[in-house]
Amino acid sequence: MSEGNRIGIGYDIHRLVEGRKLVLGGVDIAFEKGLLGHSDSDVLTHAICDALLGAAALGDIGTHFPDNDPQWAGASSLEFLSRVVEMLTEKGYRVHNVDATVMAERPKLRPYVQSIRESLASALQVDVDQVNIKAKTNEGLESVGRGEAIVAQAVALLIT
Ligand code: MG
């Protein structure tokens, strides 16, 4: 562990498909499609995990929770996040704050933002005011704009 503040960045994208539940930040979102992937495919939580792991120089989510490991089939990504927080604690880091953006053309995510913050703050073991979530559309552009995918970006600051 090195002393001082450490910043990390995370990005993720998942394809939107029929027949899957949509979960963002651990919160079930009412929508006719969900994100495709091995776990619950919570793209927001994945981006946050990567930001935290990046800040601690601990690699990325695929290193720790490989998507070919049957153990993680259908797993809640909040479980990944809790495990990441354990790894950070072991290395002597605390989460100072997390900021993230979710880009989805539909559904409207604003009504869910507060529940998502609370869900993530709980898994991160921080106060809600240490977690910010911004929801945007992609203005109809590219895969997100066509409703084919959801993207999330995150930054995290760790302190010793
Ligand atoms: Mg992912």
Per-residue confidence (pLDDT) for residue 2, from 0 to 100: 65
Which residue matches tokens 């120089």? 57
CA of 111 to the centre of ligand 1 (A): 23
Instruction: Give 4's pLDDT tier (boundaries 50, 70, 90).
Output: confident
Cα atoms in the 13 Å half-sphere on the side-chain side of 44:
29
CA of 56 to the centre of ligand 1 (A): 19
Please give the domain boundaries of the chain with CATH numbers for all domains: 6-159 (3.30.1330.50)
Report the predicted TM-score, pTM, of the whole model to 2 decimal places. 0.97
**Given a cut of 80, is residue 43 above it in pLDDT?**
yes
**Per DSSP, which regions of the chain are E strands?**
6-18, 22-24, 27-29, 33-35, 94-103, 131-136, 149-159
CA of 91 to the centre of ligand 1 (A): 24
Residues 119-133 pLDDT 10s: 999 999 999 999 999
Q: Which residues are CB-neighbours of 12 under 8 A, at least 6 positions away?
A: 43, 44, 46, 47, 50, 151, 152
Instruction: Give 1's pLDDT tier (boundaries 50, 70, 90).
Output: low
Average pLDDT in the chain: 96
Q: How far is CA 53 from CA 77, 85, 91, 145, in A?
A: 14, 9, 11, 29
Average pLDDT over residues 18-28: 97
Residue 66 or residue 142, greater confidence: 142
CA of 159 to the centre of ligand 1 (A): 25
CB atoms within 10 A of CB 146: 12
Per-residue confidence (pLDDT) for residue 35, from 0 to 100: 97
CA of 12 to the centre of ligand 1 (A): 5
CA of 152 to the centre of ligand 1 (A): 9
CA of 81 to the centre of ligand 1 (A): 12
Residues 53-86 pLDDT 10s: 999 999 999 999 988 888 888 889 999 999 999 9
